[in-house]
Amino acid sequence: MSKASLRAIEFDDIQLLRYWRNLDHVRNCMVMTNYIERDGQRKWFEGLNRDSAKYFIFSFDMQDVGCVNLTKINVTEKTFEGGVFCGDTNFLNHWVNIWACIKIYNYAFFELDLETSFATILKDNTPALNLNRSLGYKFLEDSDTNIGRFVLTRNDYVKSSEKIQRYLRDFAKQTL
């Protein structure tokens, strides 16, 4: 049976992350589209505050596919931002991307006990808009002409993701 897995990033992973992040299909969906240099990536990793930001690589049958992350974690306000990108274009429309998102949102809401998520998305990033709508995000405000801000409460997430979680558990046979 095919198996999805998730691991926290380590130093050995950061150049793979950089390679993915600099690919056009990833970079062009980001609010910040700058090219990331090798040394800049190393400095970013060394300066990473692991209490407020957590990055994971997700894999499918031992093959690294992409990255999911929780950033701007605020345990006082109980808020965070979630992010995902698929590095390997062979997996762009695969359920493993959704599995990875559900996995970290469950982690954020039920293990870290956070309550609200915010997302900043380019208005022409259709996959991210589809994903976030399905997870239960609601439009909050325009932060620019091309950028929207969205909000997701834990209750909305539980309600919206129920069937998706059932699909991943019962049908794709993955643990969540």
Partner 1 sequence: MSNVSFEEFSREFAKDLEIEDEQYRTAKLEDIPQYDSMGKIIVSLTIERLFGFQIAYEFLDESETLQALYDVCCTQGQGK
Binding site for partner 1 (CB under 8 A): 86, 92-98, 126-127, 130-131, 133-134, 163-164, 167-168, 170-172
In the bound state with partner 1, the residue whose beta carbon lies nearer, of 76 and 93, is: 93
d(CA 14, CA 2): 26
Smallest distance from partner 1 to CB 60, Å = 12
Collapsed DSSP state (helix, strand, coil) of residue 133: helix
In the bound state with partner 1, the residue whose beta carbon lies nearer, of 72 and 133, is: 133
Residue 35 near residue 21 (C-beta atoms within 8 A): no
Collapsed DSSP state (helix, strand, coil) of residue 2: coil
Smallest distance from partner 1 to CB 163, Å = 5
In the bound state with partner 1, the residue whose beta carbon lies nearer, of 2 and 52, is: 2
Smallest distance from partner 1 to CB 171, Å = 5
Residue 102 near residue 110 (C-beta atoms within 8 A): no
Token digits of residue 107:
């982690």
CA-derived radius of gyration, the chain: 16
Smallest distance from partner 1 to CB 115, Å = 23
